[in-house]
C-alpha cells in the first residue's frame, strides 16, 4: 500500500468513527434522559408548578448524573455531522457551498443541544430553594429548546438531500433514496412548531406527535444516517483505491 492509500485509509477510518458517534449520541440520550432522569416522556406541561418542582427534588441525583452524560453525548452531534459533511464535500464541484453551509448550521445547532442539559443541571443543583414557578418556567424553556429548535435541523436535512441530488459521482456517494429520506424527515419534524400553542393533547411537548413521533423520526434519522454514511465512506475508500 502506497503512502497516499495509507493516508486515505486512515482518514476514512476516522470519518467512520465520527459517523458512529451519532449512534453513541442516541444511546447516551436514552440512558441519561430516559433511565436516569425519567424525562422520556417529558413531565406534562399541564402539571402545576408545585408538582413539577417535586419531580426535580425527588429526581435531583438522577438528573445531575443524567445531564452530565448528556453534555458528553450531545457533543457527538458535531462529530457526527462532520462525517456527513466529509461525504457532501466529495459530491460538490467548484465552491462547496452546501458543505460550508452545513458546517455553520451544525455548529449553531450544537448550542441548542448543550443548553438543554446545562439548564436541567442548574435546576437540579438546588431545587429545594427555588420558587416552583421559576422551575416551571425553566423546564418549559428546556423543552421549547429541545422541540421548537427544529428549523436548523430540517435545513441540514435539506442540505444533505440537495447535495445528493447534485452529486456528480457515478455511482453517487449516497444512494438517491437517502435524499428522499432526508426530505421526508425535514417535513415530518415540522409539527414541532405547534408546542407553543397547547398544553395537552398530541401537539403538546409531551404529546404523541410533538414528542413521541418527532423524537422517533429525528433520532431515527441520526441512526440511519450513521449507517449509510459508514457505507458511503467505504465506497469512497474503495473507489479511491481503484483509481490510485
Question: Does a structural domain hold residue 37?
Answer: yes
Rounded to a whole number of angstroms, the distance between the first and last alpha carbons of the chain is 10
Please answer whether residues 120 and 127 qualify as being in contact, where contact means their C-beta atoms are separated by less than 8 angstroms.
Answer: no
Domain count along the chain: 1
At residue 19's C-alpha, the angle toward residues 191 and 178, to 5°, is 50
**Residue 241, pLDDT score:** 61
Question: Does a structural domain hold residue 181?
Answer: yes
Question: Does a structural domain hold residue 161?
Answer: yes
**Residue 108, pLDDT score:** 85
Chain centre distance of CA 225: 11
Question: Does a structural domain hold residue 244?
Answer: no
- How many CA within 13 A on the CB side of residue 217? 24
Question: Does a structural domain hold residue 35?
Answer: yes
**Residue 3, pLDDT score:** 55
Containing domain of residue 213, as a range? 3-237
**Residue 111, pLDDT score:** 86
Query: How far apart are alpha carbons 178 and 27 in whole angstroms?
Result: 22
**Residue 190, pLDDT score:** 96
The residues of the chain scoring below 70 in pLDDT are 1-9, 239-244
Question: Does a structural domain hold residue 242?
Answer: no
Question: Does a structural domain hold residue 54?
Answer: yes
SS3 154: helix
**Residue 181, pLDDT score:** 98
Chain centre distance of CA 32: 15
**Residue 220, pLDDT score:** 97
Cis before 165 (ω within 30):
no
Question: Does a structural domain hold residue 243?
Answer: no
Q: For residue 154, give the nearest of 174, 110, 184 by alpha carbon.
A: 184
**Residue 170, pLDDT score:** 85
CB-based contacts of 170, cutoff 8 Å, min separation 6: none
**Residue 7, pLDDT score:** 57
Amino acid at each position: 500500500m502506497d503512502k497516499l492509500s495509507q493516508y486515505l485509509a486512515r482518514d476514512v477510518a476516522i470519518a467512520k468513527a465520527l459517523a458512529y458517534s451519532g449512534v453513541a449520541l442516541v444511546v447516551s440520550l436514552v440512558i441519561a434522559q430516559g433511565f436516569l432522569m425519567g424525562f422520556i416522556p417529558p413531565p406534562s406541561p399541564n402539571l402545576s408548578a408545585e408538582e413539577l418542582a417535586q419531580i426535580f427534588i425527588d429526581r435531583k441525583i438522577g438528573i445531575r448524573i443524567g445531564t452530565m452524560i448528556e453534555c458528553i453525548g450531545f457533543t457527538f452531534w458535531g462529530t457526527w455531522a462532520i462525517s456527513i459533511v466529509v461525504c457532501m464535500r466529495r459530491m460538490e464541484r467548484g465552491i462547496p457551498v452546501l458543505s460550508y453551509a452545513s458546517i455553520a448550521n451544525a455548529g449553531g445547532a450544537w448550542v441548542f443541544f448543550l443548553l438543554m442539559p446545562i439548564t436541567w443541571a442548574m435546576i437540579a443543583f438546588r431545587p429545594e430553594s427555588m420558587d416552583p414557578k421559576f422551575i416551571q418556567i425553566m423546564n418549559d424553556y428546556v423543552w421549547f429548546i429541545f422541540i421548537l429548535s427544529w428549523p436548523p435541523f430540517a435545513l441540514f436535512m435539506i442540505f444533505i438531500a440537495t447535495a445528493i441530488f447534485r452529486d456528480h459521482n457515478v455511482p453517487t456517494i449516497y444512494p438517491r433514496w437517502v435524499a428522499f429520506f432526508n426530505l421526508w424527515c425535514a417535513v415530518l419534524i415540522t409539527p414541532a412548531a405547534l408546542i407553543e400553542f397547547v398544553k395537552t393533547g398530541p401537539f403538546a411537548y409531551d404529546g404523541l406527535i410533538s414528542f413521541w413521533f418527532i423524537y422517533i423520526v429525528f433520532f431515527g434519522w441520526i441512526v440511519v444516517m450513521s449507517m449509510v454514511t459508514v457505507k458511503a465512506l467505504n465506497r469512497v475508500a474503495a473507489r479511491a483505491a481503484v483509481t490510485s
